[in-house]
Structure 1
Amino acid sequence: MKEAMFYEKLDGKVRCRLCNHYCMIKDGKRGICGVRENRDGSLFSLVYGKSVATGIEPIEKKPFFNFYPGTTAYSIATVGCNFRCLNCQNWEISQMPKGEEGNIIGEKLLPEEIVANAKGSGCKSIAYTYTEPTIFFEYAYDTAKLAHKEGIKNVFVTNGYTSAEAIREIAPFLDAANVDLKGFREDFYHKMCGAKLQPVLDNIRLYRELGIWVEVTTLIIPGYNDDEEQLRGIAEFIKGVGIDIPWHVTAFYPAYKLLDVSLTRVESLRNAREIGKKAGLRYVYEGNVPGEGGENTYCYSCGETVIKRYGFEIIENILIDGKCPKCKNLIDGVGL
């Protein structure tokens, strides 16, 4: 165990300040995430150094399309999550600590080992992903500091519910964040995730203000968040933060507690992409539908295809020093 960051002691109880749930936790109990426990009036992380999943993957799989495209990321996660999304793809590990047994599993993997593995594998970055990096913050924070010293980039794939205090703390070592903006209604967030929308919007702005590269992902779930009102709301919000922020609209596949919902049609993704483009966003990508053309990066000035993709693989990258070779326009991003 490791004593948690971001909490206050209150007469035997503790107030966790790591995420926007701000859980009040009694002695012997855990927070909503299931991995932070009050023991005799002090809060501890139960997952520090306990990796439940690792992998070397294309950065495009996270997904990041305008951040060091074509490179690999060493990906890590622990069990636990501060959301309870009904469609979670990794529910076996994200929701495990919330079960009756409250299991905390994982193999010992220390921050220095993660950095050594990433460096030895030639990975450009370390991705804190699969579950929710917020809930293993201390683990990610110590790893990120070591990686930063070695010139390895750090990226969060996150639901965007971290407290502003915690984001500001890790900001000097965090290079990019892909934030899931799951819908654009409070009732959707409450029903589908057990959370609130506004903190996610606030944090997208905060990441941007702190100079962290931001990309946004919305999983399009038929009948839940695919209406034009929500999609326009998301597109206009992103535009208000930055027209250069890439928006990934991705196809839903039935999982966990949404097994009775149909797959997302390509036409629905195309409609979402058009809404984003009409709103003025420079980069809108379609995900989980390889070969349909919506994965490519186009020059927003002249329309030239500057990065051609199939799934998570780059087929062709014709950028020259980050610029379109046809019109010399600079494409937004990092490491292009």
Structure 2
Amino acid sequence: MSARPAPSWRPALLGVPAGDGTVRCELCPFRCRLPEGALGSCRVRRNRRGTLETASFSTAVAHLDAIERKPFYHVRPGSRVLTLAPPGCTFRCDYCVNHRLSQYGREDDVPWTGETADPAALVARAAAEGADLALSYSEPGLAPELTLELAELARAERIRVLWKSNGFLTPRAVDLVAPALDAVNIDVKAADEAAHRRLTGASLRPVLDAVERFRAAGVWVEVSTPLVPGCADSPERLGAIARGLAAVDPAMPWHLLRFTPDFRMARALPTPPEQLRRAVDAARERGLRFVYVERALGEAGRSTACPDCGTVLVRRGVWRTLEHRIADGACPGCGAVVPGRWRE
């Protein structure tokens, strides 16, 4: 029987010698202390002869998406991204629809089907397609090395790099990658520490800190919350998340994601549309101005309206932008500012 394919390993950033050949990884808040030959909890970083290595200089996909699918609704509507997916994740979410990528190294039935990433070729393809680059589906926070090399090459082509991330990073890691990123969509999966730990196996506080730290560094931030049963599906829990986001910035876009049964939660029920509708109302009552639902509430759930006069400024289908009327970052009718990265 042939050996299971595996990603290639290469030197990693954010490794700190910890004595006796041990290395401490400073990428995520777990800060794994790794003796010789040991893998981190993510299963894609390891200590090899006193050097931290990463298996995330790889991608399982390289295909074109509408930027709205990441989701980004306040970043260049109608543009496209070349999406990449390195292996691994710092979380262990039981509902993960991308578990065949994110749980590489943890699940026996999750083989690696990707290949070593070639940043020059990927940037050249993005340039030929008139697309930006996005890291998604798995956890891009585990691939700072790939991100930085892509960004260095992409800059000359005026190509941006974006992340769809869980935000579970150390301050040092955020500061390292922020200059390379144009925008990041961060998952805030729960309202409190206990629920977040049950769902992900990790603390919530670093995620909330990353939202603010990326924003302070000038990265455009949008937030997503999946309505996972028993975690972030009640009005009280969603209201608490909305209140916290509004305290940071009431104009920060919030995407409410319908729960889809998968992985270890395949028997749970999908989120009813009425529950999503109530969540949108609750978020707006707590001060958030831009709250979105991709599919379950139809076009109205995807549209961007002026926060002052209510005029619909961006109309979206499921797969693409249908109409974009924002001019110089403002409503053309009343002049109200609509924050975002609207221009090419």
Q: TM-score, normalised by structure 1?
A: 0.95
More displaced 10-residue stretch of structure 1: 97-106 or 250-259 = 97-106
Residues 196 and 231 of structure 2 are in contact (CA less than 8 Å); yes or no, is this contact kept in structure 1? no
SS at match of 2:47: strand
> Structure 2: how far apart are the matches of 1:55 and 1:170?
23
Deviating beyond 4 angstroms after TM superposition, the runs of 4 or more aligned structure 1 residues are 100-105
- For 2:129 and 2:137, the matched residues in 1 are separated by 20
Quote the Cα distance in structure 2 between the aligned partners of 1:221 and 1:82.
Answer: 18
Query: Does the CA contact (< 8 Å) of 2:67 and 2:77 recur in 1?
Result: yes
Contact 1:34 1:102 in 2 (8 A): no
Which of 178-187 and 166-175 deviates more? 166-175
Give the aligned length.
Answer: 334
Query: 1:42 and 2:51 equivalent?
Result: yes
Instruction: Encode CA deviations 1:264-288: one digit per residue, 9 max, x unaligned.
Output: 0111111111111111111110123
- Find the aligned partners of 2:108 and 2:312 in 1 and give their Cα distance: 51
Report what 1:180 is aligned to: 187
What's the counterpart of residue 86 of structure 1?
94
Q: Which AA in structure 2 matches 1:145?
A: E
Q: Is the 8 A contact 2:85 2:101 kept in 1?
A: no
Determine if the alignment matches structure 1 residue 27 to structure 2 residue 36: yes
What is the CA distance between 1:103 and its match in structure 2? 5.3
Q: CA deviation at 1:104?
A: 4.8
Letter in 2 for 1:19: C
> Secondary structure of the residue that 2:322 maps to in structure 1?
strand
CA contact (8 A) 2:293 2:302 kept: yes
User: For the Cα contact (< 8 Å) 1:179–1:217, is it kept in 2?
Assistant: yes
In the aligned structure 1, how far is the partner of 2:48 from the partner of 2:255? 41
**2:4 matched residue in structure 1:** none
CA RMSD of aligned residues (A): 1.6
Aligned-residue offset at 1:132: 0.4
Instruction: State which of 84, 87, 102 in structure 2 corresponds to 1:76.
Output: 84
SS of alignment partner, residue 15 of structure 1: strand
1:331 Cα deviation from its structure 2 partner = 1.4
TM-score, length-scaled by structure 2: 0.93
Question: Within 5 A, what are the aligned runs for 1:57-68?
Answer: 57-68=65-76
Residues 131 and 252 from structure 1, CA distance in 2 versus in 1: closer, same or farther, beyond 3 angstroms? same
2:262 match: secondary structure = coil
Does 290-299 or 102-111 show the bigger shift?
Answer: 102-111
Of residues 240-249 and 93-102 in structure 1, the stretch that sits farther from structure 2 once superposed is 93-102
Shift of residue 160, structure 1, vs aligned partner? 0.5
Measure the CA separation in 2 of the matches of 1:119 and 1:164: 32
Q: Distance in 1 between matches of 2:262 and 2:302?
A: 23
Q: Which structure 1 segments of 5+ residues have no match?
A: none
Change (3 A) 1:212 1:255: same
Q: Quickly say closer, same or farther: Cα 1:101–1:279, change in 2 above 3 A.
A: closer
Sort the Cα spacing of 1:301 and 1:102 in 2 relative to 1 into closer, same or farther, 3 A. Answer: closer
1:163 aligns with 2:166: no
Q: Do structure 1's residue 14 and structure 2's residue 23 form an aligned pair?
A: yes
Residue ranges of structure 2 left out of the alignment (5+ in a row): 1-8
Calculate percent identity across the aligned residue pairs. 35
